Amino acid sequence: MSASNCLKDDCLFCRIIKGEIPSTLVYQDDCTYAFRDINPQAPTHILVIPKNHIDSCADISEENSEWVAGCFVSIAKIAASEGLEKGFRVISNSGEDAGQTVKHLHFHILAGTKMDEGLI
Ligand code: 5GP
Ligand code: ZN
Return the pLDDT at 56.
Answer: 98
pLDDT digits (tens, 9 = 90+) for 44-80: 999 999 999 999 999 999 999 999 999 999 999 999 9
Domains for the chain: give ranges and CATH numbers: 12-111 (3.30.428.10)
CA distance 76 to 19: 24
Question: How far, in Å, is the centroid of ligand 2 from the Cα of 108?
Answer: 16
Return the pLDDT at 117.
Answer: 86
Whether 53 sits among the annotated catalytic residues: the reply is no
Q: Is the pLDDT of residue 115 over 60?
A: yes
Question: How far, in Å, is the centroid of ligand 1 from the Cα of 59?
Answer: 19
For residue 100, how far is the Cα from the chain centroid?
Answer: 12
Question: How far, in Å, is the centroid of ligand 2 from the Cα of 86?
Answer: 32
**DSSP state, residue 4:** P
Which secondary structure element, helix H or strand E, spans residue 66, and what is its range?
A: helix 65-81
Q: In what order do the strands lie in the sheet with 44-50?
A: 25-28, 32-36, 44-50, 107-111, 89-91
Q: Is the pLDDT of residue 1 over 60?
A: no
Ligand at shortest distance from the CA of 96? 1
Residues counted in the chain: 120
Query: Which atom of ligand 1 is least distant from the CA of 39?
Result: 12
Return the pLDDT at 3.
Answer: 61
